[in-house]
Amino acid sequence: MKPRIQEAIVVEGRYDRNSLSQVVDALILETAGFGIFRDEEQLALLRRLADTRGLILLTDPDGAGFVIRNYLKGALPKDKVKQAYVPDIPGKERRKRTPGKEGKLGVEGMSPELLLQALQRAGATFIGEDAPPSNTGGLTMADLYTLGLTGTPDAAEHRARLLQHLDLPARMSTKALLAVLNTLYPAEEAEQLITGLLQEEESNAESP
């Protein structure tokens, strides 16, 4: 039996919807790609659903996916919307003759395990189960600076390493990364994870 999710899930297109519908029992809506930019009725529906049951945004990890995600983040109530991310995986979907512009798999090409993991990490509410804790940690942007993830010459490289380690898309913003860390880990555990990765990175760089 597929797990049931309370929130409505927003994806880009029908193939994404088809793939996700095989993994979870949920209300899944499409943006029709960039069509959402001019579809006021669909946007109004998303706002109503956000207020009544909550929304989860699940877009492709490429540039177009982040344009759609960022548009909806600005158009919907932030406290009613959760962000789900799939990792950067090179490849193409079976139905396509050639890979997409950035050569990455979209939501439709993800395995059921990765889709479920993305929803779990976003803090989706699984009906019949205890809801995953939201905002588990208390990291701030100042903490990310202290940990070397912002404001230093190597910050971008360090963030890229962390995103890769967490199977998150390379295009994710620092603010979005902070939100994910606070959803997944208590502050102390997140700090230990980041510190350990950076120490490993330094050790590898020093090795002959």
pLDDT at residue 132 is higher than 70: no
Which of 122, 153, 185 is at the close of a domain? 122
Rounded to 10 degrees, the C-alpha dihedral 112/118/122/128 comes to 20
- What was the pLDDT predicted at 208? 61
Alpha carbons 62 and 101: distance in angstroms, whole number: 9
Inside any domain, residue 130: no
Q: What is the pLDDT of residues 171-199, one digit of tens each?
A: 999 999 998 898 888 889 999 999 999 88
pLDDT digits (tens, 9 = 90+) for 59-108: 999 999 999 999 999 999 999 999 999 999 999 888 888 888 899 999 99
Work out the burial of residue 104: count CB atoms within 10 Å of its CB; fewer than 13 is exposed, 13-18 middle, 19 or more buried: buried
Its domain, for residue 47, covers 8-122
Q: Are residues 180 and 147 in the same domain?
A: yes
25 and 84 both lie in a single domain? yes
As for how many domains the chain has, the answer is: 2
* Pair of tokens at residue 153: 């010459």
Task: For residue 129, tell me if it sits in a domain.
Answer: no
Look up the CATH number of the domain holding residue 53: 3.40.1360.10
Closest to 53 (Cα-Cα) out of 103, 133, 127 = 127
pTM of the model: 0.82
The SS3 call for residue 82 is strand
